[in-house]
Structure 1
C-alpha cells in the first residue's frame, strides 16, 4: 500500500471525526470518504482507534512545527512571546479542523505507544522553546520557571480563549484579541522591572 493511501485515510478520518465525533465515526464512513477498500484500510490501520491515534500524532506534529517556526530567527523576550501567541492563534484559525481535533475531539485513552510518541513530541517542543528561553532567563529578561509552567502561562490562556471559536459557540476571529493575550503573557513571564524599562524606551522613542 502506498503512503498516499494512508494519507488519504488520515485526511478522511479527520473530516469524519470532525463531523460526527469519534464514537459515531465508522471505518466504513472513513474508507468511503477516502475511496479506499476495506482491505486497504485494515492494511494501513488495525482499527478506527489506531487511525485516530496516528491522526492525533500527525496533527500534533503540524501544530508543534508552526510554533517552532515562530522562533526562527531567534527573537528577543517580548518578540518571542508575541510570535508564539500569534502562531498559536493563526494555526487555530487556518487549521481549524485540525485544531478542533487536537484540543476538543482527541481521545484521552490512547494506547501507550501513542502516549509515548506524544510525550516525545511534547519534549521536542519544550526543548525548542527552552533553547530560545534559557539565555533570556539567564539574562533576567524572562522569569525563571519550569518549562511546563512557562508554556502553560504562555499558551494556556490563548487555548482557553479559543475554545468558544473551535466549538462554534463564537464565530469571532480570535486573532482579534492577540494584543491583549500578548500583553497578559508579557506581564506573567517578564520581570516587572524589565516591563517598565521597555515601556520607558517606547515612551522616549515616541517623544
Structure 2
C-alpha cells in the first residue's frame, strides 16, 4: 500500500477505497494506462464493479484519485522542505531534492503520473489539476519573485520556470524509471540542482 493513499484517505472507513486505489495502481503499472479496464481492476481488487463506481465514478475518476493523492503527497513534502530554507538557491535545491527523492521513493506512482498526465490534464478534472498545480508552485514562486526583485534571477515568463527548474531532473528520472539508465537519480541531486540554478540565475558581470 502506497503511503500516499494512507495519507490521502486515512482511517478504517476508507480502507476499501485505499485497497481499490492500490490494486488499480498495480494494474496501471503492469499495462498501458489507456488499455487497463475496470474489469481488470475489479478482478485485481476483488471488489464489485458497483463498489468501484460508487467510490470513483469511472475509470477516469479512479485515475484522477490516484494522481491527486500522489500530487498532494509531493506537495506536502515540498512544503516542509521549503520552510527550512532561507534563500532562493536553498529553496531551489530543496525543490529538486524533494522531487527526486519522492520519485525514487514512489516509483510506481511516479510512472503512473508520467503516463497519465496528459489524460488528467485534458479530462474532466483538468480544473482540479490546475488548482493543485497553482498551490504546488505557489510557495516556490514567492521565492522566485523576491529573487527577481533582488536581481538574483532572470525575470522570465512564469510558465517557463517549472520546465527550467524540473525539466532536466524529470527527463533523467523518467529514463531511470524505464530502465534506460541505472544510476539512481539520488546520486545526481547536486548536479540537477546546480543546473536548475544556472538556468535562471543572473549571470555575473564580466567586469564584476
TM-score, L = length of structure 1: 0.83
Cα pair distance change 1:107/1:186, threshold 3 Å: closer
Whole-Å separation in 1 of the counterparts to 2:88 and 2:44: 45
**Contact 2:42 2:52 survives alignment (8 Å):** yes
Count matched residues. 194
**Alpha-carbon RMSD:** 2.2
Aligned to 2:168: 157
1:62-81 equivalent positions in 2, closer than 5 A: 62-81=73-92
**Contact 2:19 2:45 survives alignment (8 Å):** yes
Whole-Å separation in 1 of the counterparts to 2:136 and 2:158: 10
**Contact 1:74 1:132 survives alignment (8 Å):** no
Aligned to 1:108: 118
Task: Please report how far the alpha carbon of residue 148 of structure 1 lies from its aligned counterpart in structure 2 after TM superposition.
Answer: 1.8
Larger radius of gyration: 1
Task: Please report how far the alpha carbon of residue 5 of structure 1 lies from its aligned counterpart in structure 2 after TM superposition.
Answer: 1.5
Q: What's the CA shift string for 1:130-155, capped at 9, x where partnerless?
A: 12222222212222223321221111
1:158-177 equivalent positions in 2, closer than 5 A: 158-177=169-188
Whole-Å separation in 1 of the counterparts to 2:119 and 2:191: 35
**Contact 1:126 1:147 survives alignment (8 Å):** no
| Alignment gaps of 5+ in structure 2 | 1-12
Whole-Å separation in 1 of the counterparts to 2:117 and 2:166: 21
TM-score, L = length of structure 2: 0.83
Aligned to 2:204: 193
Q: What's the CA shift string for 1:145-171, capped at 9, x where partnerless?
A: 233212211111111121111112222
Whole-Å separation in 2 of the counterparts to 1:112 and 1:92: 24
Whole-Å separation in 1 of the counterparts to 2:196 and 2:119: 31
> The residue matched to 1:106 in structure 2 has which SS?
helix
> The residue matched to 2:47 in structure 1 has which SS?
coil
Q: Does 1:127 align with 2:148?
A: no
